[in-house]
Amino acid sequence: MYSSLKRPLPEGMPRHSVVLPDDPSELYASLEAQREPDQTMAFLNYYPQSDPGPNTADTLAVLLTSPSNGRRYDLDSEFVDRELRRVWSTVGLPEGFDAFAAETTILDPEHFSRAGSSGAPSMGRFGLCG
Protein backbone atom coordinates (compact mmCIF):
# COMPACT_ATOMS: atom_id res chain seq x y z
CA MET A 1 0.00 0.00 0.00
CA TYR A 2 1.14 3.51 -0.71
CA SER A 3 0.04 6.41 1.47
CA SER A 4 0.43 10.13 1.48
CA LEU A 5 0.72 11.18 5.10
CA LYS A 6 -1.15 13.86 7.05
CA ARG A 7 1.97 14.54 9.04
CA PRO A 8 5.56 13.31 9.14
CA LEU A 9 6.47 10.12 10.96
CA PRO A 10 8.36 10.73 14.22
CA GLU A 11 11.86 12.18 14.06
CA GLY A 12 14.45 9.43 13.74
CA MET A 13 12.14 6.98 11.95
CA PRO A 14 14.35 4.92 9.61
CA ARG A 15 13.68 5.48 5.91
CA HIS A 16 13.64 1.74 5.18
CA SER A 17 12.67 -1.00 7.65
CA VAL A 18 12.06 -4.74 7.50
CA VAL A 19 9.80 -6.34 10.09
CA LEU A 20 10.20 -10.09 10.39
CA PRO A 21 7.67 -12.53 11.83
CA ASP A 22 8.37 -14.19 15.17
CA ASP A 23 8.76 -17.53 13.36
CA PRO A 24 10.21 -17.16 9.84
CA SER A 25 9.95 -20.91 9.19
CA GLU A 26 6.18 -20.77 9.81
CA LEU A 27 5.95 -17.89 7.34
CA TYR A 28 7.83 -19.89 4.72
CA ALA A 29 5.70 -23.01 5.28
CA SER A 30 2.44 -21.06 5.00
CA LEU A 31 3.57 -19.34 1.81
CA GLU A 32 4.61 -22.67 0.32
CA ALA A 33 1.12 -23.99 1.16
CA GLN A 34 -0.43 -20.82 -0.37
CA ARG A 35 -2.21 -19.89 2.86
CA GLU A 36 -2.09 -16.68 4.83
CA PRO A 37 0.59 -16.73 7.52
CA ASP A 38 -0.09 -15.91 11.16
CA GLN A 39 2.61 -13.26 10.85
CA THR A 40 4.29 -12.02 7.71
CA MET A 41 7.36 -10.09 6.66
CA ALA A 42 6.85 -6.40 5.97
CA PHE A 43 8.89 -3.72 4.26
CA LEU A 44 8.37 -0.05 5.13
CA ASN A 45 9.74 2.68 2.90
CA TYR A 46 9.36 6.24 4.19
CA TYR A 47 9.92 9.23 1.92
CA PRO A 48 9.72 12.65 3.61
CA GLN A 49 8.52 15.53 1.46
CA SER A 50 11.91 17.15 2.00
CA ASP A 51 13.57 14.42 -0.12
CA PRO A 52 14.40 15.42 -3.68
CA GLY A 53 11.72 14.16 -6.02
CA PRO A 54 8.14 14.69 -7.12
CA ASN A 55 6.35 14.03 -3.79
CA THR A 56 4.28 16.93 -2.50
CA ALA A 57 3.68 15.18 0.85
CA ASP A 58 5.45 12.67 3.05
CA THR A 59 4.74 9.19 1.71
CA LEU A 60 4.96 5.68 3.10
CA ALA A 61 4.98 2.37 1.26
CA VAL A 62 4.10 -0.74 3.27
CA LEU A 63 4.66 -4.06 1.52
CA LEU A 64 3.35 -7.23 3.15
CA THR A 65 4.54 -10.64 2.00
CA SER A 66 1.47 -12.67 1.09
CA PRO A 67 0.84 -16.09 -0.45
CA SER A 68 0.59 -16.44 -4.23
CA ASN A 69 -3.01 -17.62 -3.98
CA GLY A 70 -4.64 -15.18 -6.40
CA ARG A 71 -6.53 -13.41 -3.63
CA ARG A 72 -6.83 -9.63 -3.69
CA TYR A 73 -6.30 -7.74 -0.45
CA ASP A 74 -7.40 -4.30 0.63
CA LEU A 75 -7.32 -2.20 3.80
CA ASP A 76 -10.45 -3.96 5.06
CA SER A 77 -8.94 -7.44 4.74
CA GLU A 78 -8.44 -9.07 8.14
CA PHE A 79 -4.92 -10.17 7.15
CA VAL A 80 -3.88 -6.64 6.11
CA ASP A 81 -5.46 -4.97 9.14
CA ARG A 82 -3.91 -7.41 11.61
CA GLU A 83 -0.44 -7.23 10.08
CA LEU A 84 -0.52 -3.47 9.66
CA ARG A 85 -1.30 -3.10 13.36
CA ARG A 86 1.47 -5.58 14.30
CA VAL A 87 4.06 -3.90 12.07
CA TRP A 88 3.09 -0.43 13.28
CA SER A 89 3.50 -1.54 16.90
CA THR A 90 6.75 -3.42 16.22
CA VAL A 91 8.49 -0.37 14.76
CA GLY A 92 7.26 1.68 17.72
CA LEU A 93 5.04 4.16 15.93
CA PRO A 94 2.52 6.02 18.08
CA GLU A 95 -1.22 5.89 17.53
CA GLY A 96 -2.40 3.88 14.56
CA PHE A 97 -1.82 3.88 10.82
CA ASP A 98 -5.03 5.86 10.27
CA ALA A 99 -3.70 8.70 12.44
CA PHE A 100 -0.95 9.27 9.85
CA ALA A 101 -2.41 8.17 6.50
CA ALA A 102 -4.21 10.87 4.52
CA GLU A 103 -4.80 8.91 1.34
CA THR A 104 -3.93 5.27 0.64
CA THR A 105 -3.95 3.13 -2.46
CA ILE A 106 -3.24 -0.55 -2.97
CA LEU A 107 -1.12 -1.43 -5.99
CA ASP A 108 -2.98 -3.91 -8.19
CA PRO A 109 -1.51 -7.38 -7.46
CA GLU A 110 -1.41 -8.06 -11.20
CA HIS A 111 1.57 -5.70 -11.27
CA PHE A 112 3.62 -8.37 -9.52
CA SER A 113 2.42 -11.26 -11.70
CA ARG A 114 4.46 -9.94 -14.63
CA ALA A 115 7.69 -10.97 -12.86
CA GLY A 116 6.36 -13.86 -10.78
CA SER A 117 4.58 -17.14 -11.12
CA SER A 118 1.75 -17.56 -13.57
CA GLY A 119 -1.83 -17.41 -12.41
CA ALA A 120 -1.24 -15.63 -9.13
CA PRO A 121 -0.02 -12.23 -8.03
CA SER A 122 3.53 -12.72 -6.92
CA MET A 123 7.05 -11.44 -6.93
CA GLY A 124 9.36 -14.38 -7.40
CA ARG A 125 7.80 -17.27 -5.47
CA PHE A 126 5.90 -15.08 -3.02
CA GLY A 127 3.53 -12.20 -3.51
CA LEU A 128 3.70 -8.77 -2.03
CA CYS A 129 0.48 -7.25 -0.87
CA GLY A 130 1.29 -3.64 -0.93
pLDDT tens digits for 7-18? 999 988 899 999
pLDDT tens digits for 9-50? 998 889 999 999 999 999 999 999 999 999 999 999 999 987
| pTM of the predicted model over 0.75 | yes
Query: Which pairs count as long-range contacts for 103-109, CB under 8 Å and 24+ apart, including other chains?
Result: 103/3, 103/4, 104/1, 104/2, 104/3, 104/75, 105/1, 105/2, 105/3, 106/1, 106/73, 106/74, 106/75, 106/130, 107/1, 107/2, 109/72, 109/73
Q: Which of 9-18, 66-75, 96-105 is least confident?
A: 66-75
Whether the predicted pLDDT of 97 surpasses 70: yes
